[in-house]
């Protein structure tokens, strides 16, 4: 029996240190909700999780871009619905002004309303969305994924010649009304084409939005499997290491007291 070297106490202290370390790690996981509280826990998993988290953040940004683009198109169509009403009324006025039973004074009244509607269309062509022109000939590119790929929305110009010819028409005479009718009908046809393009944009952007949402959910699930702690499993581990720490502490006290038996030999 030796006094200077207590191998039992050293072995018990080593085991107690390990149990204490695992208990501390379990506490960190339960309190943080993550099973990777240090790069040493899972270095490869941490690297994958960081890349997934960055991609999810980019997807969130792309989703916002697509949502703004959908709102942009919806705002465009809101104006075009009223422009459509204005053009329809202008076509009616063009027909009314060609009535041979109307006097020039009557046509002048029709022209006043016609000019007012034309002014509304001209004013609408200058509207914007957050500082971006709603009705410009320039195409707009919308970021649709985390890699920066884009969807191009063709420009819609209310100031092109088809519209300006209609808004510049004069129905104060019967002949002018006939010419105006032709121009307004062409503008209505162009408007139908433009609104169909907006509808196609909204449909495509909605598909992109749905795709981004699905991708984000799948990536979040993958990231969760890497970093999120299983509370039930970790609680079991916590209970185990807590018991080991308590029993290890008790056994270390016993191991430290063993050299005291040497006193009995010396006393004898």
Which CATH class name applies to 43-225?
Answer: mainly alpha
Distance CA 199, CA 132 (A): 19
- Average pLDDT of 107-133? 95
User: Is the model more confident about 62 or about 248?
Assistant: 62
pLDDT digits (tens, 9 = 90+) for 29-78: 787 788 877 787 788 988 999 999 999 999 999 999 999 999 999 999 99
Residue 52 near residue 223 (C-beta atoms within 8 A): yes
What pLDDT shows up at residue 262?
Answer: 67
Residue burial 84-113, b: 16+ Cβ < 10 Å; e: rest: bebbeebbebbebbbeeeeeeeebeebbee
Domain ranges of the chain: 7-33+229-267, 43-225
Q: Which residues contact 5 (CB under 8 A, 6 or more apart)?
A: none
User: Is the pLDDT assigned to residue 221 strictly greater than 90?
Assistant: yes
Model pTM? 0.79
pLDDT digits (tens, 9 = 90+) for 101-110: 999 999 999 9
Q: How far is CA 242 from CA 14, 135, 251, 253, in A?
A: 16, 69, 14, 17
What pLDDT shows up at residue 7?
Answer: 76
């Amino acid at each position: 029996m030796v006094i200077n070297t207590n191998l039992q106490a050293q072995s018990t202290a080593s085991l107690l240190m390990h149990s204490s370390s695992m208990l501390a790690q379990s506490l960190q996981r339960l309190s943080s909700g993550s099973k990777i509280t240090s790069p040493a826990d899972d270095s490869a998993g941490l690297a994958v999780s960081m890349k997934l988290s960055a991609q999810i953040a980019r997807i969130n940004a792309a989703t916002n871009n697509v949502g703004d683009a959908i709102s942009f198109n919806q705002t465009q169509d809101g104006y075009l619905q009223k422009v459509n009403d204005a053009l329809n009324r202008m076509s009616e006025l063009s027909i009314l002004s060609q009535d041979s039973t109307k006097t020039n004074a009557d046509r002048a009244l029709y022209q006043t309303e016609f000019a007012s509607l034309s002014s509304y269309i001209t004013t609408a062509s200058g509207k914007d969305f957050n500082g971006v022109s709603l009705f410009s000939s320039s195409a707009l590119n919308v970021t649709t994924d985390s890699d920066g790929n884009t969807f191009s929305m063709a420009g819609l110009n209310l100031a092109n010649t088809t519209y300006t010819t209609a808004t510049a028409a004069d129905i104060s005479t019967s002949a002018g009304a006939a010419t105006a009718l032709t121009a307004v009908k062409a503008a209505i046809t162009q408007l139908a084409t433009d609104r169909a393009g907006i509808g196609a944009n909204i449909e495509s952007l909605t598909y992109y939005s749905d795709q981004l949402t699905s991708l984000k959910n799948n990536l979040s699930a993958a990231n969760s499997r890497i970093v999120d702690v299983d509370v039930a499993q970790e609680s079991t581990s916590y209970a185990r290491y807590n018991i080991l720490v308590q029993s290890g502490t008790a056994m270390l006290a016993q191991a430290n007291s063993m050299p005291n038996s040497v006193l009995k030999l010396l006393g004898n």
